[in-house]
């Protein structure tokens, strides 16, 4: 197993350690972290709605224990320096999965909760699968490329995201040619459906044109990914988007400059931390990694910042172990 694969496995063991979630929730440290978190903004970063019942439980917990806020409130606080209410939380979704419209929007509407959906503009109105979904299908179907770790879909995706964008695109094309059956098509959101989301209280933001890892793009491509998506979304929505989420959550300087040029008011990473509007740059706000199947015990400690702190410590320990034992796995 490669070093990245061993580290992925280390993360996986931590994520499955549900006993730790319960222990953290009952820890005296949870109360201290919760008090500190009340002065910060928790931006929850979801993708699709894989577990609607679990998502409904999340929303009910947030209504009981937090103050859901809208993108507009966050951007106004960033612009003016005004304080958000204690315990503020913003819900965000990356990629633009149909499940956000079909399963998520009804649950949000029932509770009057706002959210943000960051969409891949080049996929709108198509049946083209998200490229990570396609790679996952291809690897599970036996696809392989010399020099690329295809031991698991997760390992393959991790390896692809480390390559320059042109190399990644060529490797994905090689994966396609190595198996007889293509990945299934995926019905994507349409322009009218984006407007339906906005009418229901879900703001639509920019998540690039094709979802590359921007830090692996050259400057020309990174700029084009931001601005071409901006123009397409402006035409589809009837107004320019004001918010951006970096694909894979990683900051990219040229993309940042393009966002400034286009007048964006907020931008989000995926760094598993609480946000600090007024301290962090408006285009570099932190988000917390969650999914609709995240257990309540973990969600509570994620919101407080305790679980992210422990996660960072576990990750640092895992990296230290790998550095000390580079040849084992």
Res 320: pLDDT: 56
Mean pLDDT, range 229-247, rounded to an integer: 98
Average pLDDT of span 103-111: 98
| The two three-digit tokens of residue 246, written as one number | 């970096």
- Residue 295 has a pLDDT of 93
Strand 42-46 with 288-289, pairing = parallel
The C-alpha atoms of residue 97 and residue 110 are separated, in whole angstroms, by 20
Residue ranges of E strands in 112-170 = 115-119
Q: Where in the chain is the domain with CATH 3.20.20.370?
A: 43-78+92-128+187-302
The pLDDT tens digits for 21-45 are 777 877 888 888 888 888 899 999 9
pLDDT at residue 1 tops 70:
no
Mean pLDDT of 195-200: 98
Q: Residue 312 has what pLDDT?
A: 83
Contact 94, 71 (CB under 8 A): no
Taking the CB of residue 7, how many other CB atoms lie within 10 A of it? 18
The answer to whether 93 and 204 are in contact (CB under 8 A) is no
Of the candidate ranges 42-46, 78-82, 199-203, the one whose mean pLDDT is the lowest: 78-82
Other CB atoms within 10 A of residue 279 CB: 8
Architecture of domain 43-78+92-128+187-302: Alpha-Beta Barrel (3.20)
User: pTM of the predicted model, to two decimals?
Assistant: 0.90
Question: pLDDT, tens digit, for every residue of 302-320?
Answer: 999 999 988 888 777 665 5
pLDDT of residue 2: 41
Q: How confident is the model at residue 180 (pLDDT cuts 50, 70, 90)?
A: very high
Mean pLDDT of 207-224: 96
What average pLDDT does this structure show over 38-58? 96
Q: Tokens for 13? A: 């063991």
Is the pLDDT at 14 greater than 50, yes or no?
Answer: no
Neighbour tally for 220: CB within 10 Å? 9
The dihedral through the CA atoms of 252, 254, 259, 265 has a sign that is positive
**pLDDT > 70 fraction of the chain, expressed in percent and rounded:** 90
């Amino acid at each position: 197993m490669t070093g990245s694969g061993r580290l992925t496995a280390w993360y996986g063991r931590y994520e499955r350690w549900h006993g730790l979630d319960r222990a953290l929730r009952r820890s005296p440290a949870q109360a201290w972290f919760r008090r500190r978190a009340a002065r910060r903004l928790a931006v929850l970063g979801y993708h699709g709605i894989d577990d609607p019942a679990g998502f409904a439980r999340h929303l009910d917990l947030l209504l009981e224990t937090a103050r859901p806020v809208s993108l507009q409130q966050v951007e106004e606080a960033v612009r003016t320096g005004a304080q958000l209410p204690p315990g503020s939380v913003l819900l965000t979704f990356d990629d633009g999965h149909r499940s956000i419209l079909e399963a998520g929007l009804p649950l949000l509407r029932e509770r009057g909760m706002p959210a943000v959906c960051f969409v891949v503009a080049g996929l709108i109105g198509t049946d083209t699968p998200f490229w990570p979904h396609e790679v996952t299908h291809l690897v599970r179907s036996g696809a392989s490329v010399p020099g690329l770790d295809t031991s698991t879909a997760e390992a393959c995706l991790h390896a692809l995201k480390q390559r320059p964008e042109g190399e990644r695109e060529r490797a994905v094309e090689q994966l396609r040619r190595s198996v007889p059956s293509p990945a299934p098509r995926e019905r994507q959101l349409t322009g009218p459906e984006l407007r339906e989301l906005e009418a229901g209280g879900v703001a639509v933001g920019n998540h690039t044109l094709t979802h590359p890892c921007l830090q692996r793009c050259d400057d020309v491509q990174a700029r084009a990914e931001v601005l071409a998506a901006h123009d397409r979304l402006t035409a589809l929505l009837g107004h320019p988007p004001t918010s951006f989420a970096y694909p894979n959550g990683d900051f990219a300087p040229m993309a940042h400059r393009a966002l400034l040029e286009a007048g964006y008011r907020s931008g989000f990473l995926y760094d598993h931390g609480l946000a600090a509007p007024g301290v962090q740059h408006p285009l570099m706000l932190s988000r917390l990694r969650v999914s609709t199947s995240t257990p309540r015990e973990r969600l509570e400690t994620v919101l407080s910042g305790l679980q992210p702190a422990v996660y960072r410590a576990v990750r640092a320990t895992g990296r230290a172990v790998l550095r000390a034992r580079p040849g084992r796995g």
